[in-house]
Structure 1
Amino acid sequence: MTFLETILGEILQLFKREGIEANSETDIIHKLDIRQSTYHELFANKQDMVLQVIKLDIEQQNRKQQELLKTAKNPVDEIMMLLVDGIKTMKEINPVFISDLQLYPEAWQLSLDNLINNNQQVNTEILNRGILEGYFRRDINLQLVTKIILEQFFMMINPLVFPPDKYDLAEVFRSIYLYYVRGICTDQGGRMAEEFFAKNNL
């Protein structure tokens, strides 16, 4: 890991814990215990710093997702593992981080593009295999289902719909997706999903 990657990783953890706007650039320099000149060699400004942090976060998320899916036994397992990981991720993130990120259009758009392109593609592949193998219902509209999954996520992170001070986003995530998965499963897939629910205390 390079020096820059180490710094970006530390900033990312700070952002996820406290939000982006909770710390000025001076605060971040102090918490990282680096020289101001070093900071300005790495980042043109705060917008550039946030963008680089989000790029690292996306790389880490996608790598983690690939490693996670390698351990799944079937498409139901894959979908459930992604959901459980999503719940865990939401629990670890201060909701302010998501709302703060929207103040940085380039970084926010990059995050959305990855969500739309990568996650939608992964979900489509999993669902398609699940249909062919008999775990998901054949009558589902694949394009529509993946679109609904994506739009439900956007609804979940919209503070006007689910204000973070009133709702636990991890619980919202669980309520939206776990029950939705049940609905698209065949009897065989549903039984496997139920076993997964029971085993993981969902």
Structure 2
Amino acid sequence: MTFLETILEEILQLFKREGIEANSEADIIRRLDIRQATYQELFANKQDMVLQVVRFDIEKQKLEQQEMLSKAKNPVEEIMMLLVDGITKMKDINPVFISDMQLYPEAWQASMDNLSRNNQQVNAEILNRGILEGYFRRDINLQLVTKILLEQFFMMINPMVFPPDKYDLAEVFRSIYLYYVRGICTDMGGKMAEEYFSKNNL
């Protein structure tokens, strides 16, 4: 890991714990234990810093996702792994981080673009293989299902729909996705999904 990557990782963890706005640039410099000059060499301003952190997080998540999916035995397990990983990540993130990110349009757009392109493409590939192998129903509209999965995510992170002080985002995630996946499975896929739910205490 380069020096910049180490710094980005530390800031990312800070943001996930406390949100973005909880610390000023001066606070972040102090907590990173670096000089002001070093910070200014790495980041033009706070907007640039947030954008770099979000881009770093996107690339990190892509690599983690590839490694995770390579261990799956079939498409149902891949979808389940993505869901469990999503639930785990939501539990580990302070909801303030998501609402704070919306104050930084470039960073928010980068995050949304990644969801639209990468996640939709990954879901479509898994579902397509699952249909061909008999795990998912043949009558599902692939394009529509991947779009619904994405839009459900946008709905979930919208604080106007699910205010974080009233709803546990991890539980919202579980309620939206796990039951939806059951509905698109064939009998064979459904049995595998049920087994995975029980094995992982979902």
| TM-score, length of structure 1 as denominator length | 1.00
| Counterparts of 1:3 and 1:71, CA distance in 2 | 31
Residue 165 of structure 1 aligns with which residue?
A: 165
Letter aligned with residue 171 of structure 2: E
Residue 50 of structure 1 aligns with which residue?
A: 50
- Between the two proteins, what is the percent identity of the paired residues? 84
| Counterparts of 1:130 and 1:38, CA distance in 2 | 49
| 1:134-191 deviation line (CA, Å, top 9, x unaligned) | 0000000000000000000000000010000000000000000000000000000000
Structure 1 alignment gaps of length 5 or more: none
Structure 1 position 2 matched with structure 2 position 41: no
| Counterparts of 2:8 and 2:198, CA distance in 1 | 38
Letter aligned with residue 109 of structure 2: Q
Residue 86 of structure 1 aligns with which residue?
A: 86
Residue 114 of structure 1 aligns with which residue?
A: 114
| Counterparts of 1:115 and 1:154, CA distance in 2 | 9
Question: 1:17: Cα distance to partner?
Answer: 0.3
| Counterparts of 2:155 and 2:113, CA distance in 1 | 16
| 1:84-111 deviation line (CA, Å, top 9, x unaligned) | 0000000000000000000000010000
Structure 1 position 17 matched with structure 2 position 33: no
Structure 1 position 137 matched with structure 2 position 137: yes
Question: 1:44: Cα distance to partner?
Answer: 0.4
Structure 2 alignment gaps of length 5 or more: none
| Counterparts of 1:160 and 1:106, CA distance in 2 | 21
| Counterparts of 1:197 and 1:125, CA distance in 2 | 22
| 1:5-57 deviation line (CA, Å, top 9, x unaligned) | 00000000000000000000000000000011110011000000001000100
Letter aligned with residue 197 of structure 1: F
Residue 95 of structure 1 aligns with which residue?
A: 95
Residue 185 of structure 2 aligns with which residue?
A: 185
Residue 74 of structure 1 aligns with which residue?
A: 74
| TM-score, length of structure 2 as denominator length | 1.00
| Counterparts of 1:128 and 1:80, CA distance in 2 | 15
| Aligned-partner SS, 1:138 | coil
Residue 152 of structure 1 aligns with which residue?
A: 152
Letter aligned with residue 196 of structure 2: F
| Counterparts of 1:2 and 1:75, CA distance in 2 | 35
